[in-house]
Structure 1
């Protein structure tokens, strides 16, 4: 986010002006395409020699605004699965009923998806799980019809219909079970559904390269977490309960490789207006956030592991 990017830059400026000399290198990265998957951004970056030579220790990425005085902090995120379901059926005159028409087949799938979506939403409404801990699914497009030079023909059943779904999968979910649900309930071959042909436009991993859930430890086993808590406290701030980020960020590409990554934006007492009209950040909260980053970067860049060999230089 632009506000967070500027806070980082201002924090670095203040640290340099104070004469601070880090033991670890601090890298600020500005990369494109996070909103559309990051394939030409971080995904390529983490596969580069430049990244390998950085000798990474910890990653900080964006978080969300917090309406309360506590800063929100994220140790994992939901992985995006962008799915296209394609239905085929018997074309015919619009005045007739066809149980195996493309639209009829697709409507049955949409209804099955809606029931699953409601079951997940009910868990959130009942307070049993947080937003980031359930599978979310939203239909984002519906495509069907028989086109003509003047628009769509109104009296013909289309032979093909498609729907696109934005699915977000938490690291605690069972991806194999979800894929079986898609194949057996949402896009079964028995209803002339061709999910195998539509497949995913994007399907991010929910496990890292070691086969473990893609998340970062938030206890004493992770020294970077302890340093973050203490640094925020020194800057007169407080972290809320660690959460699973409800959307997707570039952090997943680092976590998939086994690196710790924390989502954090110092924006307390601020309504959540992400992608909404009139997004804003109060100037006092913005300036306080700069000081929070000064404290965090200073702590991280000064951290010396007990097993660190004299003369070596780890990176941040």
Structure 2
């Protein structure tokens, strides 16, 4: 197809309209997104419900396609409306202009994360309904807020509401990521996220003295231990080509603070680490190891968890999970190569898995740079349209389990 043909394609028009809504952090205004989705629901013929599980600024939008057997657990197709901040000077095009170049690349924040899958779901359902198809299970297309800053004003609280429980969700599809080759990533689990703050107390005094047990000495010990562990994970990943990014534990120093003046030895220094802990790690033993390092450093170190997620069992990707079997069979019929992986980042699927709902992360994008949260985020028009065709096979497959 040519650029003109892509620009005149109705599904591409809908996608670009959604991309032009600047639902960007901080202080997201979701009203234009809700209005857009109301128009989509009306045009497709889907029931729409808007709820506010936490506050009036963070809506959850549910579009419902009633199944032939609505008593069966429903299929949820999830995406989030919010997007991360942009630095316009780093972009080739307006990040909310949804501009298309001559090659058919559509540039906008949210093309990959995750406005694309949201409108692809709708495009697939539009085509399926037009063909007269009705799923066995009810299909719910959900658009949630706040995912990009933790989901605490969206999915995390919504799953505990009576409204969510009444939906009787049995399986969910949510965001994945692009891949750099011709295979598609499918995420079946996520690592455990910890944000650790070390508040390191020590002897204070004049900067000209070699004082014992200073906060700086203790800080050095802690940072070295954490970085040594980090290096062990780098080597593990590099030495075993079968491992994916999500199979190892990541450790990153993200914040340092403390001190009052350059010639005063401070009584307190603080350092924060972001950890994403692999599924095979014993969390209790790992925490004890970190606490032992604090004692070995000289004590006087308070360990605070800014975030301490619990272990969430991954979704089974074998014959015991009928939804996985249906998903896999659909991809085989489409001649798609898929690679099941543990997701390197965090998505709303972790909240669903935590309450026993199997969930897969999947974005039908391959042979494309991974540009989630990056400058010049884009997706090719032909890739986007192909994704609708993929969902036209996958949605009926899982909805008919």
Give TM-score, length-normalised by structure 2. 0.69
Relative to structure 1, the CA distance from residue 284 to residue 236 in structure 2 (aligned partners, 3 Å threshold; closer, same or farther) is: farther
Question: Of the candidates 140, 147, 154, which is equivalent to residue 41 of structure 1?
Answer: 154
What secondary structure does 1:274 align onto? Answer: coil
Aligned to 1:302: 400
Among 155, 163, 186, the alignment partner of 2:271 is 163
- Which has the larger strand fraction? 2
1:56-84 CA-partner distances (Å, limit 9, x unpaired): 11111111111111111111111211111
TM-fit CA distance, 1:170:
2.2
| CA pair 120-53 structure 1, distance change in 2 beyond 3 A | same
> 8 Å contact 1:109–1:185 — kept in the other structure?
yes
Which of the residues 185, 189, 200 maps onto 1:76?
Answer: 189
**Equivalent of 2:282, from 161, 171, 174?**
174
CA distance in 1, matches of 2:239, 2:334: 35
Q: CA deviation at 1:122?
A: 0.6
Aligned to 2:253: 139
In 1, Cα distance between the equivalents of 2:146 and 2:291?
Answer: 30
Q: Across the two proteins, how many residue pairs are aligned to each other?
A: 287
Match of 1:249, SS state, is coil
Equivalent pair of 1:57/1:260 in contact (CA under 8 Å): yes
Give the structure 1 partner of residue 373 of structure 2. 275
Distance 2:245 2:337 in 1: 21
Does the 8 Å CA contact 2:213/2:298 hold for their aligned counterparts? no
Equivalence for 2:359: 261
1:243 aligns with 2:351: no
Distance 1:273 1:295, change over 3 A: same
Say what the alpha-carbon RMSD is for the aligned residues: 1.5
Gaps of at least 5 residues in structure 2 are 1-113
Question: What is the aligned partner in structure 1 of residue 26 from structure 2?
Answer: none
Please list every run of at least 4 consecutive aligned residues from structure 1 whose deviation after the TM superposition is greater than 3 angstroms: 186-190
Three-state SS of the structure 2 residue aligned to 1:123 is helix
1:190 maps to 2:298: yes
Q: Is 1:293 the counterpart of 2:391 in the alignment?
A: yes
Q: 1:204 aligned to 2:309?
A: yes
Q: How far apart are 1:95 and its partner, in Å?
A: 1.7
Contact 1:72 1:239 in 2 (8 A): yes
Greater RCO structure (CA 8 Å; 6+ sep): 1
| 1:52 pairs with one of 140, 152, 165 | 165
Helix, strand or coil: the match of 1:165? strand
| C-alpha separation in 2, matches of 1:216 and 1:118 | 29
How big is the shift at 1:187?
6.2
The CA deviation at 1:2 is 1.3
Q: TM-score, normalised by structure 1?
A: 0.87
For residues 209-228 of structure 1, the aligned pairs below 5 Å read 214-228=313-327
Which deviates further from its counterpart, 179-188 or 158-167? 179-188
> 2:252 touches 2:275 (CA, 8 Å); kept in 1?
yes
Structure 2: how far apart are the matches of 1:171 and 1:46? 23
**Whole-angstrom CA distance in 1 between matches of 2:198 and 2:205:** 21
CA apart distance, 1:259: 1.5
Q: Where does structure 1 lack aligned partners over 5 or more consecutive residues?
A: 147-152, 208-213, 304-316
